[in-house]
Amino acid sequence: MEQKHQYRGLTKQEVEESRQLHGENILTPPEKASLWSQFLEKFDDPIIKILLVAWILSMIIAGVHCWGPEAKGFTAFLEPIGIFFAIMLASCVGFFFEMKANKAFDILNTVNDDTLVKAIRDGNICQISKKEVVVGDIIVLETGEEVPADGSLLEAISLQINESTLTGEPIISKTTNEADFDHEATYPSNVVMRGTTVVDGHGIMKVEKVGDATGYGKVYEGSQIESGVETPLQTQLAGLAKVISKAGYSIAALTFIALLAKLLLSSSGMPVMDLIAHILNIFMVAVTLIVVSVPEGLPMSVTLSLALSMNRMLKTNNLVRKMHACETMGATTVICTDKTGTLTQNQMQVHQTNFYNLKGQKLEDNEISNLIKEGISVNSTAYLDFSDNDKVKTLGNPTEAALLLWLNSQQQNYLDLRENAAVIEQLTFSTERKYMATVVKSPLLNKTILYVKGAPEIVLANCQRVATDGTFKPVEDCKANIETQLLNYQNQAMRTLGFAYQVLDDKQETSVFANGKLHNANLTFLGIVAISDPVRSDVPAAVQSCLNAGIDVKIVTGDTPGTAKEIGRQIGTWQTNDTEHNIITGPNFEALSDDEALNRVLDLKIMCRARPTDKQRLVQLLQQKGAVVAVTGDGTNDAPALKAAQVGLSMGDGTSVAKEASDITILDNSFGSITRAVMWGRSLYRNIQKFLLFQLTINVAACLIVLLGSLLGTESPLTITQMLWVNLIMDTFAAGALASLPPNEKVMQDKPRKSGKGGDFIITRSMAYNIFGVGISFVIILIGLLLYFHAEDGLTPHDLSWFFSFFVMLQFWNMFNAKAFMEGTSAFANLKESKSFLFVALIIVIGQYLIVTFGGKMFSVIPLSWKDWAIIIGSSSFVLWIGEACRFIQSLLKKK
């Protein structure tokens, strides 16, 4: 049945014209620092500065060599040029990855423009994204929503707006009634502004300004993603980086002293210029050691991992708003989840109506029928969208929309009924109240009527009588019967609603509501409605996966114990041996003392008839018990609980207040996406561990080699330019490769890591053994190789090129070991999904070949034969084969 709204709104063509004339509803982000200045920032790093100083000194020495008595010519400049390129390359690659991360953040920031708003266009109510709103549009505003543009109100019912983003005022009453205007207010009482939120009530506005022209556009400062805030993991890593740096500086100082002493002992008769050049060279070795050992790529790798994860999580319906949430999700031990929409499909359908005065389910032409159809139409904030001819879509509160759909199926036009009745006062539905009430001047009954619908026991508590079988009976006479009916529906996981009304006289008209509640109401109960909302098909498996991962799943719902238990049973959290100890109602929970509640929180599986304050207390008590809590919320009043939890998860169709308070928005509302967020969080942590494992192994090996090499031989076996290349591989390339490894479902078979004070350190014991074991083995092999070359015929350029390539290839194969670390599978598993990893691996091999073949004096190398390469690659690969063998044995032991 086509139903037209009293407002026509813009036609398609008018929308286009308005967009041409006034522009789109998009805010231009403030100009960012230019690419150049972002690039120059890279040189702010103290290590790069030391390197630059060293580079200048080496240029001077090269100049002396070039024109001095030895007159080496331009070849003397090759090493400084090499150093310069290495510095540039290191900063460019770092810069590139940073750009990539920034791009990911930019994408996340634009998602906000896609939030849906309700608009009336062509006489129909429909949903459009915020950025599509144009001047002249008619927008329907509801509790919890953000005002999408500036405009004036056409209608306002109990409308209260939070203007704190603009004026600092948290609650401002808005009205269209000139007599009630507040002339002191910053913005006129009939004007609403973009960026403010509806705290209570609802209204209809006409858009007057969009995009940058809005008041908010003028003060807009850009990105809302807090990309600058350090996450706990980053703090932990920064501490680690400091310790490693100190060790690096100490080793560098030791090397410098050792080499200097050696030089001074053997320098008698050396020309002063040569002596200075040698000292400078020793200084450069020490500086390079610092460069190699200081893990300056670590913070970058974490930011990159976070940015990549955030971007990929967006593809699996998780919009991360605060960076830390990515990693904290992986440490979660308890998830407190809503029921409606998260566990269920939120596709509500009236299963059965039970109005006691109606025969069957048909609405007949009598007074009770009129009360029912007018009550459902008027005491509601939902809409039906008829713009699609095939299917009627619903907008707004799903419970109310289900009732409108039912009315529509009874051939009743809800919009006519709603628009003909004048609303005098209204209490919209809230989880605290658990009912909705509206006072209207009814044209159908020619009286002023109070309509109430809500949780049956609460509505019934305000009723004196029940309209049944053509008469009115006292509530006491019918109560037992009604409760049996309710329980029957609830045991089938249905939500139940009670309906009631009261005819008001003039005095009661304004006094029946007080303090946001019904006051001295004397209602007549009309009946109940059972609404079905099936469990989402993917939820039982997702819940099971969380349970396997050692994460407790608790249902926190506003619904009844019966409904909640049945849903719990269907998703697999409520078992047959569970007792009343595992379930509690909100009011009973409130009555418990903190001590009593603390004793029970971990065992609770369901909290029903919960209010937002109960949810918040539950979260806080669980945290006191040491749990890392993720909590879902969609309502404005969930904001405190969302903020209190370590990870607040808001729902895609939740209010913008809830979204703002949350750390992640689950765009498709589904519990399945929450499970995926846990998997991502854990994978991210693991990828960083892999990177650390790889980097620290090179650190140990490179530092010891240079230290021991310079003590044993006359010069460092790895030259400065060679070490800078090694540094580039491990700091930047490997960070990119390992940070972008795909998530692994297997992480969901482990127990959650311990976080917070006294929690697990990111470098586990097995990692430490691995780092030192492998690092020292590398050193022994490499020193052995050096001694072998030395014993043969001294260290020739060929030997040093061989040594350099062998060193890099050892790290190359070890990167595959790092990839497989803790996975319990071969390093060759899921190579298809690890494209970035393979790409980086390829760059390392090709880069090494090009350097050795064409690097010449710049890298102090000479080209190697194919036979040499085959031997180097083949012999160094034993690192991987040994790793594979260890993993195979481990998996066999595990199976046993």
Closer CB to ligand ATP, 214 or 340, in the complex: 340
Q: Which stretch binds ligand ATP (CB under 6 A): 353-361, 427-435, 468-476, 825-833?
A: 427-435
Nearest-angstrom CA–CA distance, 94 and 42: 8
Kindly report the number of other CB atoms within 10 A of residue 73's CB atom. 10
Annotation says 338 is catalytic: yes
Instruction: Give the residue among 264, 291, 290, 258 at the shortest CA–CA distance from 276.
Output: 264
Nearer to ligand ATP, 301 or 616 (CB): 616
Distance CA 282, CA 276 (A): 10
For ligand ATP, which residue of 435, 725, 733, 806 counts as binding (CB under 6 A)?
A: 435
Helix 671-712 to helix 720-728 angle (10° resolution) is 170
State which residue has the least CB distance to ligand ATP: 558
Question: Whole-number minimum distance, CB 385 to ligand ATP, in Å?
Answer: 18
- In the complex, least distance from residue 459 CB atom to ligand ATP, rounded to whole angstroms: 8
Question: Taking every pair of C-alpha atoms in the chain, what is the biggest distance, in angstroms?
Answer: 123
437 - beta bridge partners? 427, 452
Judged by CB under 6 A, which stretch of 434-442, 504-512, 790-798, 845-853 contacts ligand ATP? Answer: 434-442
Q: Which among 150, 338, 533, 731 is annotated as catalytic?
A: 338
- Shortest Å, Cβ 288 to ligand ATP: 60
Nearest to 554 by CA among 608, 628, 605: 605
The number of beta carbons lying within 10 Å of the beta carbon of residue 845 is 14
- Residue 426 interacts with ligand ATP (CB under 6 A)? no
Residues 6+ away with beta carbon under 8 Å from 72 = 65, 66
Binding characters for ligand ATP, 384-413, by CB under 6 A (x = yes): -------------x-xx-------------
Sign of CA dihedral 337, 342, 348, 352: negative
* DSSP secondary structure letters along 402-470: HHHHHHHHTT--HHHHHHHSEEEEEE---TTT-EEEEEEEETTTTEEEEEEEE-HHHHHHTEEEEEETT
Q: Cβ of residue 252: shortest distance to ligand ATP, in angstroms?
A: 59
In angstroms, the CA 711 to CA 717 distance is 10
**Nearest-approach distance from CB 433 to ligand ATP, in angstroms:** 8
What's the min distance (Å) between Cβ of 128 and ligand ATP? 24
3-state secondary structure of 55: helix
Q: Which residues pair with 383 in a beta bridge?
A: 395
Q: What's the sign of the alpha-carbon dihedral 611, 616, 618, 621?
A: negative
Tokens 């895609």 correspond to 652
Name the amino acid, one letter, at 103: K
Which residues inside 744-763 make contact with ligand ATP, applying CB under 6 A?
none
Distance from C-alpha of 415 to C-alpha of 493, rounded to nearest angstrom: 31
Shortest Å, Cβ 567 to ligand ATP: 9
Shortest gap between Cβ of 612 and ligand ATP (angstroms)?
9
Residues of this chain, 790-819, that bind ligand ATP according to CB under 6 A:
none
CA angle 137, 660, 187 (to 5 degrees): 50
d(CA 427, CA 309): 42
Q: Which is nearer to ligand ATP, 611 or 887 (CB)?
A: 611
Q: Which of 5, 434, 565, 659 binds ligand ATP (CB under 6 A)?
A: 434
Amino acid at 480: A
Which residue's CB is nearer to ligand ATP, number 231 or number 399? 399
Task: Give the residue with the Cβ less far from ligand ATP, 495 or 617.
Answer: 495
- The DSSP secondary-structure symbol of 163 reads -
Q: Kindly state the smallest distance separating residue 316's Cβ from ligand ATP, in Å.
A: 22
Nearer to ligand ATP, 5 or 434 (CB): 434
Cβ-in-10-Å burial (0-12, 13-18, 19+) of 230 comes to middle
> Which residue number, 76 or 657, has a Cβ lying nearer to ligand ATP?
657
Of residues 124 and 346, the one with the C-beta less far from ligand ATP? 346
**H helix count then E strand count, the chain:** 30, 27
Number of residues that bind ligand ATP (CB under 6 A): 20
Query: How many Å apart are CA 112 and CA 666, to the nearest integer?
Result: 13
Residues 735 and 97: beta-carbon distance below 8 Å: yes
Distance CA 472, CA 501 (A): 13
Distance (Å, rounded) from C-alpha 707 to C-alpha 715?
10
Binding region for ligand ATP (CB under 6 A) out of 80-88, 236-244, 430-438, 826-834: 430-438
Which of 204, 455, 521, 718 forms a contact with ligand ATP (CB under 6 A)? 455
Which of 90, 336 has the CB closer to ligand ATP? 336
Contact status: 301 vs ligand ATP (CB under 6 A)? no
Among 217, 375, 396, 454, binds ligand ATP (CB under 6 A): 454
Give the shortest CB-477-to-ligand ATP separation in angstroms. Answer: 23
Task: Tell me the β-bridge partners of 205.
Answer: 139, 153
Smallest gap from Cβ 563 to ligand ATP, in A, equals: 7
Which of 209, 453, 686, 887 contacts ligand ATP by CB under 6 A?
453
Please, which residue, 15 or 583, has the CB nearer to ligand ATP?
583
CA angle at 388 for the pair 384 and 392, rounded to the nearest 5°? 35
Q: Does 431 bind ligand ATP (CB under 6 A)?
A: yes
702, 293 contact by CB (below 8 A): yes
Q: Tokens 């609802």 label which residue? A: 202
Angstrom distance (rounded) from CA 810 to CA 883:
12
The C-alpha atoms of residue 155 and residue 152 are separated, in whole angstroms, by 9
Q: Which residue stretch of 145-153, 265-273, 432-440, 660-668 sits at the interface with ligand ATP (rule: CB under 6 A)?
A: 432-440
Q: Are the C-beta atoms of 861 and 801 separated by less than 8 Å?
A: yes
605 is a site residue for ligand ATP (CB under 6 A): no
Encoded one letter per residue, x for contact with ligand ATP by CB under 6 A and - for no contact, window 485-514 reads: ----------xxx-----------------
Interatomic CA distance for residues 623 and 772, integer angstroms = 37
Judged by CB under 6 A, the stretch of 269-277, 453-461, 848-856, 863-871 that binds ligand ATP is: 453-461
Query: Considering the complex, what minimum distance in angstroms separates the CB of residue 379 from ligand ATP?
Result: 8
Interface characters, 334-363, with ligand ATP (x: CB under 6 A): ----xxx-----------------------
Return the residue of 84, 356, 386, 429 that touches ligand ATP, per CB under 6 A.
Answer: 429
Nearer to ligand ATP, 343 or 809 (CB): 343
- Find the binding residues for ligand ATP in span 865-884 (CB under 6 A): none
Binding mask 546-575 for ligand ATP (x = CB under 6 A): -----------xxx----------------
Name which of 200 and 400 has its Cβ closer to ligand ATP: 400
| Of 729, 689, 866, 710, the residue nearest 811 (C-alpha) | 729
E-strand ranges in 311-382 read 318-320, 334-337, 349-355
Q: Which is nearer to ligand ATP, 589 or 802 (CB)?
A: 589
Q: How far is the CB of 399 from ligand ATP (least distance, A)?
A: 4
Structure tokens of 73? 């010519």
Active site residues: 338
Site residues, ligand ATP (CB under 6 A): 338-340, 397, 399-400, 429, 431, 434-436, 453-455, 495-497, 557-559
